[in-house]
Amino acid sequence: MLALSGGAPVRTRPFPSWPVWDHTDEEALLEVLRSGMWGLGGSKVPEFENRFAAYHGAKYGVAACNGTVTLQVALTALGVGPGDEVIVPGYTFVATGAAVLHVGAIPVIVDIDPDTYNIDPEAVRSAITPRTKCIIPVHVGGNPADMDAIMALAEEHGIAVLEDAAQAHGARIGGRGVGSIGHIGSFSFQATKNLNAGEGGILITDDEELAALCRAYRNCGRFGGAREPVLGWDFRLTEFQAGLLLSQMNRLEEQTRRRDENGRYLAEQLRTVPGIRPLKRLDSVERHAYHLFIFRFSAEEWGVSLDLFIEALAAEGIPCSRGYVPLYRDPLFVTSGQSCPAAWPGLPNSLEQRAYRRMHLPNAERASEEAVWIPHYVLLGSRDDMDDVVEAVRKLYNHREALAKARGSGKAKRYAGLEG
Ligand SMILES: *Cc1c(COP(=O)(O)O)cnc(C)c1O
């Protein structure tokens, strides 16, 4: 019997919990505490910046207090400002769009590839205008976007590329680490992310001048006396966070390999269940970071609604949730704009806002109606743990007629309960 209807769940043992820490992390934090260097002037932030950038194959790292302001800093350093257009995907966390608004630019939201949920390069091509200053591909769930196609377009039109790699620590495509392929890449260390210190973020780039600008914008506009200041912010990371990130980083490679291996296996297995379609990865993807394991669920083929499926799967003991709504349906884009006037200088007469309300990107809409998310820490488990996930899905499939008649609360969780 279905666990949703009172039967025994497939899984009663918990999956690995997140975050992972031990005495080495305690030591790292105590070391900072005892040093008395808790902020500016300490050695942990620069050490972490260098190590994280090098790990992804970039020359420079600029750490900041979160992965939203890093996007804002990068856009500002790239010279993106009021009236400029920035192309963003229709399936992402709201911060990708909000950062564009914060610099006064206009988010031009384009559709995604239905098989990967990443930005569709053809949709990007159609959206380019003389006002386009930047493209922000997001590696959704840790699955690298089609960077070859995006970089080719960007070069052809002289447009900057800012990779939003907030979910993709350690992912690799075409022999390169994500974040180091575009002109600049941004990561988040918020509590749920694959590398975390509660909060935090970093920009990585090979461009020395761009790195110097980002460093200044992050640090009150100062260039350390080398030149005149710019109008910056204080978006600095603390030494405690950098110390913790350094010790957390000792596990990143092993954890990323494990997620990738389990993610591949889970995709192979789940693909054999009718109406279940794990997202594809491009052939050039060497490593998927699997911040999220995402699969498409066909309510039509099962005769079961997405909400009911998710509730039933969660009842079987498998952590899961619905995913994003299309970005233009986020309250930020459908409100009158009165609530955030300072954030809308690029939209003087709200015409564009009305355009967001009329927007309909078929693949992003569909993703919002069919996506099931399994959080990354599930993939830190063993092969047996993966088999339990498959068994739970198979059980639901075999009982789909009973499931169609079962009663749920009617509302499944939207996010993995963890989104910031
Ligand atoms: C988490 C996330 C961000 C924002 O990072 P914070 O550190 O939470 O501010 C930006 N973009 C994407 C795609 C994210 O997942």
- pLDDT at site 217: 98
Determine whether the shortest distance from the Cβ of 144 to ligand 1 is under 6 A.
no
- Count of positions (residues) in the chain: 420
Q: Catalytic residue numbers?
A: 193
Q: With bands split at pLDDT 50, 70 and 90, how would you rate the model's confidence at 101?
A: confident
> Looking at residues 271-295, what average pLDDT do you find?
98
Taking the centre of ligand 1 as the mean of its atom positions, its distance from the CA of residue 250, in whole angstroms, is: 22
CA separation (Å) from 386 to 35, 236, 377, 390?
A: 43, 39, 12, 6
- pLDDT at site 82: 87
Taking the centre of ligand 1 as the mean of its atom positions, its distance from the CA of residue 67, in whole angstroms, is: 5
Q: What is the pLDDT of residues 36-56, one digit of tens each?
A: 999 999 999 999 999 999 999
> Looking at residues 146-163, what average pLDDT do you find?
98
Determine whether the shortest distance from the Cβ of 412 to ligand 1 is under 6 A.
no
Cα separation of 1 and 4, whole Å? 8
Nearest atom of ligand 1 to the alpha carbon of 189: 7
> Looking at residues 105-115, what average pLDDT do you find?
94
Cα separation of 404 and 373, whole Å? 21
Residue that wins the pLDDT comparison between 408 and 190: 190
* Contact predicate 43/131, CB 8 Å: no
Residue that wins the pLDDT comparison between 420 and 196: 196
Cα separation of 79 and 60, whole Å? 19
Q: What residue type is 407 in one-letter code?
A: R
- pLDDT at site 419: 40
> Looking at residues 221-240, what average pLDDT do you find?
95
Determine whether the shortest distance from the Cβ of 96 to ligand 1 is under 6 A.
yes
Cα separation of 261 and 56, whole Å? 19
Residues in contact with 331: Cβ distance below 8 Å, sequence separation at least 6, in sequence order: none
Q: What is the pLDDT of residues 5-45, one digit of tens each?
A: 999 999 999 999 999 999 999 999 999 999 999 999 999 99
Terminal CA-CA length for the chain: 36
pTM surpassing 0.85? Answer: yes
Ranges 122-131, 288-297, 334-343: which has the least confidence: 334-343
Q: What is the pLDDT of residues 238-260, one digit of tens each?
A: 999 999 999 999 999 999 999 99
- pLDDT at site 352: 57
Ranges 97-106, 310-319, 332-341, 377-386: which has the least confidence: 332-341
